[in-house]
Copies of this chain bind each other. A is one copy, B any other.
Amino acid sequence: MTGRLTGIRACVFDAYGTLFDFASAAARCRDTLGDKAGPLTALWRDKQLQYSWLRSLQDRYVPFDQITADALDYAMHALGIDDPALRTRLLDLYLTLSPFPEVPGVLRRLVAAGYRTAILSNGSPAMLAPLVAQPGIDGNLHAVLSVDEVRVFKTHPRVYQLAVDSLGVSAGEICFFSANAWDAWAASAFGLRVVWCNRDAHPPENLPGRPDAELRTLDQALPLLV
């Protein structure tokens, strides 16, 4: 799974978990959350994804900021945390999640090598704007694509088609990077070339598709592309 990726014109990145560390929000509230920071992050994320899939199946789209708040409310309730100020703080922090350390360098190298770069995310435009304005991200992305334009969440094929249509390249000319296995498999089944950034060493999925490469961090993809 580590051959050089040829014929690629655009590098498209998932946002949450791939470029930006969603665990960083609760981690920055460890003063208040203590040992619950880890469980809160896990349940918040699980519910956020579950709500995105269920609402998409029912054709009841709402922007990802509402999904994110709904999921946080569930997670806080489930963990017995009743703290409106903490809720506000966590949702604010979700707008300034930390990039993973290798991200600025990877984007810079890919742009310098002539690739078009983009984000393709469940996040609404209002959530993505402050994330991509951060130093090291700003100026290194040619496009920020939100599912809000097609009003359905990943893994609906309309989402991956949005990248093709917006970037004006064919599916096979896109290298899509995701740390979320379900997203990586679905993008591959759609027809994108896929790098699975398997940060937490999860097992492979038993779903349609198959990533072209599996790596631990994004910088490990540079020898495949640059």
Contacts and interface: CB of A to CB of B under 8 A. Distances in A.
A202 B54 contact: no
Interface string A193-210: 000000000110111100
A54 B182 contact: yes
Interface residues of A, number: 29
Majority secondary structure, A binding face: helix
Contacts of A202: 78
A182 B206 CA distance: 23
Contact of A205 (B56, B60, B74): B74
Contacts of A41: none
A162 interface: no
A153 B73 CA distance: 27
Interface in A38-89: 50-51, 53-60, 70-71, 73-74, 77-78
Contacts of A60: 189, 208
Interface string A176-194: 0000001000100100000
Given A53-B57, A59-B157, A74-B203, 11 more contacts: A51-B206, A53-B54, A54-B155, A54-B186, A55-B208, A57-B155, A70-B206, A71-B206, A74-B206, A78-B202, A78-B203
